[in-house]
Amino acid sequence: MPRSLLLTTLAAVLGAGPAFAAVPLLASRARWGPKGVLNWQAVNEHVLGRAGESNPCGFQAGRAVVDAAWEGDVLVGRLTLCTSCGERTLPYVGVHVAANGTVVADIALVPGCDSPGLEGGRLILAPLAEPVGRRPLTRHLEAGEKQLQLRRGKAAREEFQKALAANEDPGKAWQGLGLASVLLGDEAGAVAAYEKARTFAPGVLLSYNLACAQARLGRVNEALASLSDSIDRGLAAPKDLLQDPDLGPVRADPRFSGLLARTKANQERR
């Protein structure tokens, strides 16, 4: 992975990044069902909705449920939901109601299936106030970021492990552990951390970095799948696909040409 992409990845992982066009601002917490909570996290136009400690599906707290991007005042992406027919990942189009900050999406389930996460076939996520006196724990995440910037892999790894133990943002902590593993030359550790991070905070750069780590281990089929997922999420960097030394084993595969064509198409749409 080239240094420039590493720095871009750090910005995405830890909340920094270039300015984008204004998008609707969501409250950090939303009511999901009668007593459940969904936590919103936004990085520029990309938005994740993550299961709260209490949620209608009984998902692990912090797990990504909504993975979408703004198109005007509409969120377009994917939704993971529990149903009576088993867990399902479905297309998601959520409309932001500016008057009250609620996001509403009509979800089409297979006839005969239902979900405790829906209300009359709709996913309704109404804003909730922050609990009084509650502040996010970010001390170890911030310390880990600083160690990554100094390229101190061991120290960064220790801070991100502390972040997990302190119940700080698990998606960011696992992504940080993946980056620290790369600095330490621990490719298997990087793959394991990125795969864990993807259950909490899937994204374009995370899937790309996972593909690079898998390719460095010679796991070409898995790297191709991860790279394909990154492209599905909007990767538009054909130059990186052609020049990144980590992707050499992938470029040697005949399936690479199809991936390259797709990322070129993403670039052209932008």
The whole-number pLDDT of residue 22 equals 57
**Spatial separation of the C-alpha atoms in residues 15 and 11, rounded to whole Å:** 6
The whole-number pLDDT of residue 237 equals 86
HSE toward the beta carbon, residue 99, CA cutoff 13 A:
1
The whole-number pLDDT of residue 193 equals 95
The whole-number pLDDT of residue 9 equals 42
Residue by residue, pLDDT tens for the chain (270 residues) are 433 344 334 433 443 333 334 578 888 889 998 889 999 887 667 888 999 889 999 998 888 899 988 888 888 999 999 999 999 999 999 998 888 889 999 998 988 899 999 998 899 999 987 665 544 547 899 999 889 888 899 999 999 999 998 888 888 899 999 999 999 999 999 999 999 998 888 888 899 999 999 999 999 999 999 999 999 988 888 998 999 999 999 999 999 999 999 999 988 876
* Helix, coil or strand: residue 210: helix
The whole-number pLDDT of residue 214 equals 96
**Spatial separation of the C-alpha atoms in residues 142 and 153, rounded to whole Å:** 14
The whole-number pLDDT of residue 12 equals 39
**Spatial separation of the C-alpha atoms in residues 110 and 120, rounded to whole Å:** 14
The whole-number pLDDT of residue 221 equals 97
The phi, psi pair for 46, rounded to 5°, reads: -85, 135
**Spatial separation of the C-alpha atoms in residues 121 and 90, rounded to whole Å:** 13
Q: How far is CA 266 from CA 24, 135, 161, 208, 230, in A?
A: 24, 38, 36, 15, 11
